[in-house]
Amino acid sequence: AIDVNAIPLAAVERIEIVADGASALYGSDAVGGVANIILRKDYDGVSATARLGAATDGGDTQQQYSLVGGTAWNGGGLIATYDFERDTAITARQRSYTHYMPANSTLLPALKRHSAVLSLHHALTPDLTFSFDGLYNWRRSSTVLQVPGAARYTTEPTNQSFALAPSLTFEAGPSLSVTLSGVYGEDRSDTKQFTTTAAGAVSAYPYCYCNKVTSLEASAQGALFHLPAGAVRFAGGAGYRDNGYVNRSTSLPEPIDVHQDSYYGFGELYVPLVAPGQGVAAIHRLSLTAALRYENYPGVDDVLTPKLGAIYAPSPDIDVKASWGKSFKAATLYQQYQPQYAFLYDATTLGGAGYPAGATALFTNGGNPALKPERATSWSATLAAHPRAIPGLQLEASYFEIAYRDRVAQPFQGTDFYTALGAGTLEAFVDPYPSATLQSVLIAASPVPLYNYAGVAYEPEAVVAAVYNIFFNVARQKIRGVDLAARYEAELGSDDRLALSGSASWLQSRQRLDPSLPYTDLAGTIFNPPHWRGRAGATWTRGPLSASAFANYSGAVDDVRSSPAVRVGSQTTFDLALVYRPSPQGLIPGVGFALAVRNLLNDKPAYARPVADYYVNYDSTNQSAIGRFISVSLTKEW
């Protein structure tokens, strides 16, 4: 998984959002959008920041220290950042709504993190520039799951990662540049799991997920020719990427060590058809974009993804934008090569009925090397208004749809496990009365002996079904939504500005795992995004001082883990911030401060259906146990 916290905020210049399917440009995973984090290139001086914060209900005491240094010279520059953070845990004893849980159970894990970034660029010649980005991150956390009267499970993952990214850019002409870039990165997650029994016996289960990536890319961009509306521009390139994955575990007789390489080529074209000032009736501006990417995964599949876009402005006050494209997501090496384990259950545990007494079922779980890439088709339309009659006002409304097919999923997820042998379920993933030979194959595929939870000895003739819960290209998803945004900036005086902003989103997503079954809701159900989210607020600025207040809304969801569904209420929180930015003419030259309060009214998570006395009874995906959080930071620049 990508850890955005690995990049210190002090090293970030800006973040660019591509809000629709972009696999034609970026390749795998760019299905619903892309966030490009652009690092700062030029910084001259030194800046130090200290930040302290804590939750008022207890726990989550945070301390964070950042150091930024940089220099610029004729033809180049360098910036280096270092960031340290230490957060304490939130435990069940610190929240009133989790007092039913064992007191030491973790609601939010403790964290310790070091991260650093080095970025430099230098002009080797007037036309040739060398650039380099380096990133390092170290992170450790700890989580406790206590089962009352039974075992305590402690998980302590430690992650180390680094990436090195050099590049050479050659300005081949006034409107043509060529870049050769490479990346080498490693990510190592060492996890220790300890099980402490009620009698005090401790057993350890260490494992490591170790990843490597190597890539090389050549690209070019520039102008092809000129039309009356402007230059027709292009960008294109080709590259190679290799992903490596190693799984080391005491439960495996030998490590899993696999690689997947890919070769790709891409091209993008921008064509301006009408430009402002040409005097074309009913068309202030019109432009088209087109992109195409080909990616080949040897031994797996090859993928061709197009994208088309258009921007039409009938007047300077309105823009109409539309895009259509196809995207893909390659199966992860974890999904492909995770070990396949075999379990034995009583047939009634899996929802079986009408079987003789003592009937059992084999249940397999794990990876699938035969997985293919997930595919998606998406389109979006946006209406943006920025009326000249009301300077500073911006309005935007967008609608989007994404249709997924061949999504990688395990057929029997969550409570579906208990109905795997029930009537009308996923019969395509169940073999009734498997032969003894098939049973032996399934059991032999597991790196460890058969896990027997049936309560009786394994007898091949007693097995009435084999249930396959490995990863398959099985799911179809349909996602659609609306995004609304408004912003108004006003000058209140010679040095005063007020910015009002608001945004809201509506989301619907559904999934089915078999053509014979109906779609089921994802959005609006527990541990999935709610149908509605919103945020609105105001920021007042005078010189280096700014104050802001925002309200955040997260809609209600349904707890569908059992019938009947239970409604889990919405949550509304309020945030305040006061920031004084460092400036040479400030109260204390070069010194700034910030005071922030999140969840000012200390709104609690909404109650959901209880599952067990050692699990939280709220939607921990959408609502947080932190509560009111107050932080203070101090910055000094030289």
Contact between residue 577 and residue 606 where contact means Cβ atoms under 8 Å apart = no
Provide the pLDDT confidence category of residue 234 given band limits of 50, 70 and 90. Answer: very high
Largest CA distance in the chain: 87
Contact between residue 97 and residue 605 where contact means Cβ atoms under 8 Å apart = yes
Contact between residue 331 and residue 371 where contact means Cβ atoms under 8 Å apart = yes
The pLDDT value recorded for residue 424 is 66
Characterise 65 by phi-psi region: left (phi > 0), alpha (psi -120 to 50), beta (else): beta
The pLDDT value recorded for residue 150 is 85
Show the DSSP H helices in 261-374 as ranges: 333-337
Per residue in 282-293, pLDDT (tens digit) is 999 999 999 999
The pLDDT value recorded for residue 32 is 76
Strand, coil or helix: 516: coil
Phi, psi of 275 (to 5 degrees): -120, 155
Task: Tell me what the mean pLDDT of segment 439-462 comes to.
Answer: 93
In terms of DSSP bridges, do strands 110-125 and 128-146 run parallel, antiparallel, or are they unpaired?
Answer: antiparallel
The pLDDT value recorded for residue 620 is 92
Residue among 343, 341, 339 nearest 363 (CA): 343
Task: Tell me what the mean pLDDT of segment 569-598 comes to.
Answer: 92
Please tell me the chain's helix, strand, coil percentages from 3-state DSSP, rounded to the nearest 5. Answer: 5, 60, 30
The yes-or-no verdict on residue 1 having pLDDT over 60 is: no
DSSP-derived secondary structure for 75-116: TEEEEEEEEEEEE--EEGGG-GGGTTS-TT-EEE-EEEEEEE
Contact between residue 188 and residue 161 where contact means Cβ atoms under 8 Å apart = yes
Residue labelled with tokens 């210049």: 13
Helical (H) or strand (E) element with 26: helix 23-26
Arithmetic mean of pLDDT over the chain: 92
Which residue type, as a one-letter code, is found at position 354?
A: G
Residue among 464, 440, 443 nearest 361 (CA): 464
* Helices and strands, number each (H, E), in the chain: 3, 34
Distance CA 115, CA 105 (A): 28
Q: What is the DSSP letter of 298?
A: T
Of 242-251, 330-339, 424-433, minimum mean pLDDT range: 424-433
Distance CA 17, CA 408 (A): 26
The pLDDT value recorded for residue 2 is 63
User: What is the distance of C-alpha 194 from the center of its chain?
Assistant: 28
Of 319-323, 444-448, 596-600, minimum mean pLDDT range: 444-448
Of 1-10, 146-155, 216-225, 525-534, minimum mean pLDDT range: 1-10
The yes-or-no verdict on residue 423 having pLDDT over 70 is: no
Task: Tell me what the mean pLDDT of segment 605-619 comes to.
Answer: 89
Q: Which residues contact 505 (CB under 8 A, 6 or more apart)?
A: 481, 482, 483, 484, 532, 533, 534
Distance CA 601, CA 118 (A): 40
The pLDDT value recorded for residue 384 is 96
Task: Tell me what the mean pLDDT of segment 607-633 comes to.
Answer: 92
The pLDDT value recorded for residue 259 is 94
Q: Which residues contact 373 (CB under 8 A, 6 or more apart)?
A: 28, 297, 300, 301, 303, 328, 329, 330, 331, 406
Is residue 148 reached through a cis peptide bond, with omega within 30 degrees of 0 on the bond before it? no
Token duo for residue 191: 């996890």
Provide the pLDDT confidence category of residue 19 given band limits of 50, 70 and 90. Answer: confident
CB atoms within 10 A of CB 375: 20
Per residue in 82-140, pLDDT (tens digit) is 999 999 999 999 999 999 999 999 999 999 999 999 999 999 999 999 999 999 999 99
Token duo for residue 56: 């008022």
Task: Tell me what the mean pLDDT of segment 262-276 comes to.
Answer: 95
Per residue in 207-230, pLDDT (tens digit) is 999 999 999 999 999 999 999 999
